[in-house]
Structure 1
Amino acid sequence: MHLRVLHRTSFTYAGKAHDSFNEVRLRPVDDHTQRCREFKLHLTPGAVPREYSDFYNNTVHYFEIIENHPKLVIEAFSLIDTTPSSDRDPVPRVPTDDLKSSPEREMLAEFYNSSHYVPLEVELWREAQDALAEGRSDVWSDVRRLGEHIYRRFAYRPKTTGVSTRATDVLKLRMGVCQDFAHVHLGLCRSMGIPARYVSGYFFNTTRRPREVEASHAWIEAWIPGFGWAAYDPTHARIADDRYIKIAHGRDYSDIRPVNGTYRGAPTRSLKVDVTVREAPPGAPAP
């Protein structure tokens, strides 16, 4: 599938801002599920971004604006080819005992232990036990069952949680948005000893209604011995397919914040994020 993305973040200040330093993780990754054909970052006021790869090999662009400015606009344009689902290797059935004895597991400790948004408290373990009450199966089936449990038992309710809400808070509320469900899913997987990581990106909604709000999306990837990372979306209870565009991954949201920075001056008066994902003709240029 050929997809085009526009991600615009606008900060308006109650006066003037200056000495602004920012990092953004907005460039889609290149892997076996997708290829980023083109990426452009446009900044207002004008600045020249530089880039580096972070600890998790995500592309990070950074820039600074010293002079006074009443507004900051960050626009990221991307053109991506996603691999058709029919061309992707199926996830194999791997017994859970094979995961425990896998030599790779020792290298993935940060993905099955606590992190900032996913503290592995006993409540998450109990929830995972309820979800797998019929017994353990193979690793990928367990990951899917845990995700389906969230889809059935938790309500999608925007504005009931915030950017600082942790998985244990969502567990009590039983509601939230995609970021919250991804954190809960990570907690359930990790409490069962399954390495799992947070993924940020976009979802191309083929059933989008006119004027329906679009936004960034979040899901998880779980480690399957002998296969690698397999992606599952608990918000929609499905395996991530060619409608999904991956931007970055990490232990949780704190590792992949799309826009993160500091500045001096007047307080922020408003923050607005606009996301547009559209299908593009093969060979079409980025806007």
Structure 2
Amino acid sequence: MAIFKIVHTTKYHYNWPIKESINEIRLFPHHFENQDVLQDELFITNNPEVDFSKDYYGNRVGNFNMLETHSQMTIETRMIVRVNHSLKIPEIDFTSVQDLEKEKQKSILLLRLGYPEVIQKQSEIDAIIAEINCENKSIIEIAQQCNSYIYDHFTYTKGITNIATTIDEILDIRKGVCQDFAHILLQLLRTIGIPARYVSGYICPNKKGMRGEGATHAWVEFFTPNQGWLGLDPTNNIWTMENHVKLAVGRNFNDCTPVKGTFKGLARQTLSVSVAIGYEDGSKFEEINDVKLQEIPFEAQEQINYIEQLQQQQ
């Protein structure tokens, strides 16, 4: 069992004032069998009213607007979470992919999470599956071998992908970070016929050291008839442990995006995310990351460049 105090701070900066910012956030830790949320607080610039609801996957969602003009926005969540993964490695389970068919026929959710994305490089996914050789293997063995394949054949590299990077692009460069590896694992499992979901959250640092520690992290959960949802972390080639704190689940990153929104105005925006993790012994770990955002449309870029040129001439 482990108790973590986590402070997640998201900061947006705009080089020109913007207005009517409309936002949707999924920054609230899950209550589930092995995770208890002891405290959960939310703080937002100018203290707007937040409407809460649950989405299709059971995630708690907050929606708020900032109509007044502003040049920055900070969203901070503070949480205390107790994690107790008594089972770090699943039990020996010989259920096969064929055993999943009855389960999928009984659940629209499992059917939805069992369809792979339509991509151009599906033949490369098929080739990986052929290399792994799934015949006469259990669901758990197949999933673990897919997880290991990604760890062995894809390089963990920061700064070369962003939230819009596609599965085709990841397959092309064979590099990326946790969310990229999660998307590849999802495509492999779903192509085989195993329902799987994307998980967003944190991986809290330990003495051994793991990729993605101290920042927002992503991994995959797949469904088995006997043991339910089981978590695999392809970035570290491990089963999820008490270091993994879960925020949201969904079909892919878009369903679990911590913060998404839009605004009125022409401005360049920058985003930084800070995650501070406190432990029961009083120690603390903090990491700040500048997030690589999608490029703004060409037309908007041209207008911003023109405005900046006018400012320089004054």
Give the alignment's TM-score, normalised by structure 2.
0.82
Which position in structure 2 is the counterpart of 1:140?
140
Q: Secondary structure of 2:5's partner?
A: strand
Which position in structure 2 is the counterpart of 1:26?
27
After TM superposition, the structure 1 stretch with the greater mean CA deviation from structure 2, 142-151 or 157-166, is 157-166
Shift of 1:199: 0.5
Query: For residues 57 and 143 of structure 2, what CA distance do their matches in structure 1 show?
Result: 22
Q: Secondary structure of 2:215's partner?
A: coil
Structure 1 residues 88 and 104: alpha-carbon distance in aligned structure 2, compared to 1, 3 A threshold: farther
RMSD across aligned positions (CA): 2.4
Structure 1 residues 99 and 26: alpha-carbon distance in aligned structure 2, compared to 1, 3 A threshold: same
Shift of 1:96: 2.8
Query: For residues 139 and 86 of structure 1, what CA distance do their matches in structure 2 show?
Result: 18
1:44-67 CA distance string (max 9 Å, x none)? 122122210011110001111111
Q: Are the aligned partners of 1:115 and 1:252 in contact in 2 as well (CA < 8 Å)?
A: no
Alignment of 1:1-287 (within 5 A): 1-86=2-87, 90=91, 92-102=93-103, 107=108, 108-115=110-117, 121-130=122-131, 132-133=132-133, 135-207=135-207, 214-280=214-280
Structure 1 residues 120 and 90: alpha-carbon distance in aligned structure 2, compared to 1, 3 A threshold: farther
Q: Counterpart amino acid of 1:37?
A: L
Between the aligned residues of both structures, percent identity stands at 28
Structure 1 residues 267 and 91: alpha-carbon distance in aligned structure 2, compared to 1, 3 A threshold: farther
Structure 1 residues 213 and 149: alpha-carbon distance in aligned structure 2, compared to 1, 3 A threshold: closer
Structure 1 residues 76 and 193: alpha-carbon distance in aligned structure 2, compared to 1, 3 A threshold: same
Query: For residues 44 and 208 of structure 2, what CA distance do their matches in structure 1 show?
Result: 29
Q: Are the aligned partners of 1:114 and 1:120 in contact in 2 as well (CA < 8 Å)?
A: no
Query: For residues 152 and 214 of structure 2, what CA distance do their matches in structure 1 show?
Result: 23
Q: Counterpart amino acid of 1:277?
A: I
Shift of 1:135: 3.7
Which position in structure 1 is the counterpart of 2:295?
none
Q: Counterpart amino acid of 2:112?
A: E
1:219-256 CA distance string (max 9 Å, x none)? 00101013211111000001001110010011101111
Q: Secondary structure of 1:18's partner?
A: strand
Shift of 1:168: 2.3
Query: For residues 88 and 175 of structure 1, what CA distance do their matches in structure 2 show?
Result: 27
Which position in structure 1 is the counterpart of 2:285?
none
Q: When the two structures are aligned, how many residues end up with a matched partner?
A: 278
1:85-118 CA distance string (max 9 Å, x none)? 35997463312331234455653121121348x7
Q: Are the aligned partners of 1:154 and 1:175 in contact in 2 as well (CA < 8 Å)?
A: yes
Q: Are the aligned partners of 2:21 and 2:67 in contact in 1 as well (CA < 8 Å)?
A: yes
What residue ranges of structure 2 are gaps of 5+ in the alignment? 283-314
